[in-house]
Amino acid sequence: MKSNEHKLITLTTDFGIEDDYVGLMKGVIHSINPNARVIDLTHYIPPQDVEWTAHMLYYSFGYFPEGTIHVVVVDPGVGSSRPIKLVRLEGHYFLTPDNGVMTKLAAHYRPQEIRTITNREYFLADISNTFHGRDIFAPVAAHLSNGVSPKKLGEASREVKSLSLPEPQLKGSEISGHIIHVDRFGNLITNIEQQMVNQLSQSYSELSIHLSNSSLSGIKNSYTETGEGNLMAIFGSKGLLEISVNKGSAAKVLNVRKGEQIKVMAFET
Amino acid sequence: MKSNEHKLITLTTDFGIEDDYVGLMKGVIHSINPNARVIDLTHYIPPQDVEWTAHMLYYSFGYFPEGTIHVVVVDPGVGSSRPIKLVRLEGHYFLTPDNGVMTKLAAHYRPQEIRTITNREYFLADISNTFHGRDIFAPVAAHLSNGVSPKKLGEASREVKSLSLPEPQLKGSEISGHIIHVDRFGNLITNIEQQMVNQLSQSYSELSIHLSNSSLSGIKNSYTETGEGNLMAIFGSKGLLEISVNKGSAAKVLNVRKGEQIKVMAFET
Amino acid sequence: MKSNEHKLITLTTDFGIEDDYVGLMKGVIHSINPNARVIDLTHYIPPQDVEWTAHMLYYSFGYFPEGTIHVVVVDPGVGSSRPIKLVRLEGHYFLTPDNGVMTKLAAHYRPQEIRTITNREYFLADISNTFHGRDIFAPVAAHLSNGVSPKKLGEASREVKSLSLPEPQLKGSEISGHIIHVDRFGNLITNIEQQMVNQLSQSYSELSIHLSNSSLSGIKNSYTETGEGNLMAIFGSKGLLEISVNKGSAAKVLNVRKGEQIKVMAFET
């Protein structure tokens, strides 16, 4: 059994699964590497939400084995001249449009290799202007999983595009951040990491959370610590502060959307 | 090729696939067992519907090969102290929160082994309070699929939690049951098994079905036996009495939901 | 490793993934062939849309490797006496209800083999009247992927059912076609192939597109060639003329549905 036999490929797109788009990418991958293992990370990135993709990849990739090839097709510029990049960092490969989806990863980890993907030998013969996921990303990922050297895919490059993502700010006894994603359950996921809140907690005994004219007292440890239908702040599974409703939707209760500001305030009692 | 190479793991959750939650579980599984085969049974259990999960598992597991590991994360108590159990019965493994999802299986088959899963050696190093699917269920299932003995996962246990699920009643010439699930097509799935109806049919020549102020005469053998848009009773693919509409939604036509009572009445003509 | 070890099976249905139906088909397949690779092409064919299925299969199958077994369960006649056929063409197998889903494939490629599937030895022991996907299609596909000869599955047959699908017409300087599918993004996919439009373009310098009281001038090469929210005509990833809105839904903007007529008119400036 060759060492690359079970190389994993993950797919992250905003295609949804209602059409055959994702299935076609898998067909192309298996045509080139019949042994590939393909895992859907998600196909419901909010349409063209490059910012959330950048966060999601950063918090997710570590749950996959080293050597995994992460294919990311959140690509508002498909058909334009935006380059496609292959980035290797922490032993993982990321094949993405160069539109900022690597912002958070590249800021926190030193890329070991960056290539601009140009070698049409590893693309499908016919390339549409609307579906590079099928015609470029899928075949390149499959060849890579077959052991093709990244060097053959295109020239080395110095950098990937970086967006200025709003980062949470800690000033005095206050953290200000914002909602970066609303998940299917209506949980409001913020960009405030537990570590930053812990810094505050070391100096102050009490915390309150404020968003959209609502205030919450303290941070719960589990959904079951509050009654059904009640709002709570909790550190979610990505280690980020989330606003949730036990057996309900915080997004509906607060009528809040992505982008909304949130504040954590610390004080002494 | 090792005997455990293709051990199947099925996933049943109420997570949906809009977010990365299911993908992360698969990442963890493949990090531990690169050869695992993972099948999504469904990720759209109605939120926290332990009762339907108990029924669904009972009617579904037999379509998978012996040795399959069924991971069930329908878990309103995540983060609380509810135990996690591994149950072996009929040669299948079930890894579930101990909240009643095993009720129907454990009532009909003698569990061959029950263990309370406590050995953190087989969990992820960091365990969140909100996503045990990723941090406990996925790694334990993967280790099990790698051949780790259930004995290493935790102490033997005598029982799993059992809910009192309402069972259909046959009294004289009448069966009373209720709707336990509405599927995507609007089919109303009842808890009345074909076998119980057959008992009635042996003694009576005619049947009528009653729910929500509507009456249906007889039970059809195929969707095509009635015209488009017409209500019918039929035995569905789980061997349960279902109320359906040919090319339509019985749930919409009758404005009926899960929990509604249904009666089958037998009589002579 | 046997040559059939990684034989691919694709699934195309209108089941959705909210219930356990698709998972059960995969359980049956893996019970019979633990080495099968199963790819979901789509489970969101619009309910019972045989016409779109016929088009989708035609434009999709070539992205899968030769030898792939395509299982198609879009089957309004389940439980009736409609036959099930296995068709081999271009080195691919198609296992489908004989209801017209093969129309476009069989019209363009010569079937190398057609069989009517009748041998219950390769079905599940119990066959429901409502779920042949699980009870017949899945096990037959799995046995086929295990190397069972098509000859064992049923008698040879001369033809598959053919529907009269409306084909686009080129008359003089005008093509008339219609919308055959609306995808998740609201792109309106027509049945007009690029090749037919190219014929017009050779003789005329300008094109305009007309549907639903709207007119569009020319055909764009990329979504980015027009501003956000603007309607455009473009050749989509299937090589078919599509009406799209950059970062929006053409279906919503035009309030247009499947079946609507569309015209391409050519002229000199």
pLDDT, tens digit (0-9, with 9 covering 90-100), for B191-231: 999 999 999 988 888 999 999 889 999 999 888 888 888 99
If pLDDT is split at 50, 70 and 90, which confidence band does B3 have? very low
Residues 42-101 of A with CB under 8 A from C: 47-48, 76-80
Query: B169-267: which CATH topology?
Result: Elongation Factor Tu (Ef-tu); domain 3 (2.40.30)
Which pLDDT score, from 0 to 100, does residue B1 have? Answer: 36
If pLDDT is split at 50, 70 and 90, which confidence band does A203 have? confident
Instruction: Among C60, C223, C235, select the one facing A24 at the smallest CB separation.
Output: C60
Q: Of the candidates B101, B138, B106, B100, which has an alpha carbon nearest to the alpha carbon of residue B122? A: B138
Which pLDDT score, from 0 to 100, does residue B4 have? Answer: 45
- Nearest chain A residue to B81 by CA distance is A224
With a CB cutoff of 8 Å and minimum separation 6, the contacts of C187 are C236, C242, C243, C244, C249, C250, C251
Q: Taking phi first (over 0 means left), then psi (-120 to 50 degrees means alpha), and beta for anything else, what does residue A21 get? A: alpha
Q: How far apart are CA B111 and CA C167, in angstroms?
A: 60
Which pLDDT score, from 0 to 100, does residue C212 have? Answer: 87
Q: How far apart are CA B252 and CA B182, in angstroms?
A: 10
- B79 and A40 in contact by Cβ < 8 A? no
The residue length of chain C stands at 269
Which pLDDT score, from 0 to 100, does residue A6 have? Answer: 58
Q: Are A99 and A77 in contact (CB under 8 A)?
A: yes
Q: Which of B3-17, B41-55, B97-111 has the lowest mean pLDDT?
A: B3-17
Q: Give the pLDDT confidence of A2-41 residue by residue, as tens digits.
A: 444 458 999 999 999 999 999 999 999 999 999 999 999 9
Reading the block at residue A151, the tokens are 């060097």
Please give the biggest Cα pair distance in chain B. 69
Q: How far apart are CA A29 and CA A141, in angstroms?
A: 7
ipTM over 0.85: yes
Which pLDDT score, from 0 to 100, does residue C6 have? Answer: 58
- A23 and C41 in contact by Cβ < 8 A? yes
**Over chain A, what is the mean pLDDT?**
94
Please name every residue paired with C12 in a beta bridge, in sequence order, or none if there are none: C42, C72
Count of beta carbons in the 10 Å neighbourhood of residue C216 = 19
Rg for chain A (alpha carbons), in Å?
21
- B31 and A247 in contact by Cβ < 8 A? no
- Please report where in the chains the tokens 């329908």 appear, as a residue: B74
Buried b (16+ CB within 10 A) or exposed e, A61-95: bebbbebbbbbbbbbbbbbeebbbbbbbbeebbbb
Which pLDDT score, from 0 to 100, does residue B23 have? Answer: 98
β-pairing, B69-73 with B92-97? parallel
Instruction: Report, as an integer, the average pLDDT of A199-224.
Output: 90
Against chain A, the chains showing at least 3 CB pairs within 8 Å are B, C
Strands (E), chain A: 8-13, 37-42, 69-73, 84-89, 92-97, 113-116, 169-171, 174-182, 188-193, 206-211, 214-217, 231-235, 240-245, 261-267
- Please report where in the chains the tokens 């395509």 appear, as a residue: C70
Q: Of the candidates C127, C28, C23, C123, which has an alpha carbon nearest to the alpha carbon of residue C78? A: C127
Which pLDDT score, from 0 to 100, does residue A4 have? Answer: 45
**CA B220 centroid distance within chain:** 25
Contact with chain B for residue C30, Cβ under 8 A: yes
If pLDDT is split at 50, 70 and 90, which confidence band does A96 have? very high
The nearest CA of chain B is from the CA of C10 a distance in Å of 14
Contact with chain C for residue B210, Cβ under 8 A: no
**Over chain B, what is the mean pLDDT?**
94
Reading the block at residue A60, the tokens are 């997710």
Query: C8-156: which CATH topology?
Result: Rossmann fold (3.40.50)
Instruction: Report, as an integer, the average pLDDT of B4-25.
Output: 90
Which pLDDT score, from 0 to 100, does residue B2 have? Answer: 45
Instruction: Among C31, C35, C47, select the one facing B63 at the smallest CB separation.
Output: C31
Q: What residue spans define the domains of chain A?
A: 8-156, 169-267
- A60 and B20 in contact by Cβ < 8 A? yes
Contact with chain B for residue C156, Cβ under 8 A: no
- C27 and B64 in contact by Cβ < 8 A? yes
The residue length of chain A stands at 269
Low-confidence residues of chain C: pLDDT under 50: 1-5
Give kind and range of the element (H or E) at residue B202.
helix B194-203
Q: How far apart are CA B41 and CA B92, in angstroms?
A: 15
Buried b (16+ CB within 10 A) or exposed e, B11-21: bbbbbbbbbbb
Q: What is the pTM of this model?
A: 0.96
Which pLDDT score, from 0 to 100, does residue A227 have? Answer: 86
β-pairing, A8-13 with A37-42? parallel
| Chosen from C2, C13, C14, C18 to mutate, greatest number of chain B CBs within 10 A | C18
Instruction: Report, as an integer, the average pLDDT of A225-249.
Output: 93
Specify the long-range contacts of residues C200-207, CB closer than 8 Å, at least 24 apart. Answer: C200/C170, C200/C173, C200/C175, C200/C264, C200/C266, C201/C266, C203/C173, C203/C266, C204/C173, C204/C266, C204/C267, C204/C268, C205/C267, C205/C268, C205/C269, C206/C266, C206/C267, C206/C268, C206/C269, C207/C264, C207/C265, C207/C266
Which pLDDT score, from 0 to 100, does residue A80 have? Answer: 78
pLDDT greater than 80 at residue B5: no
Cα C213–C214–C217 angle (5° rounding)?
145
Q: How far apart are CA A15 and CA B166, in angstroms?
A: 42
Reduce the DSSP state of residue B186 to 3 states and report it: coil
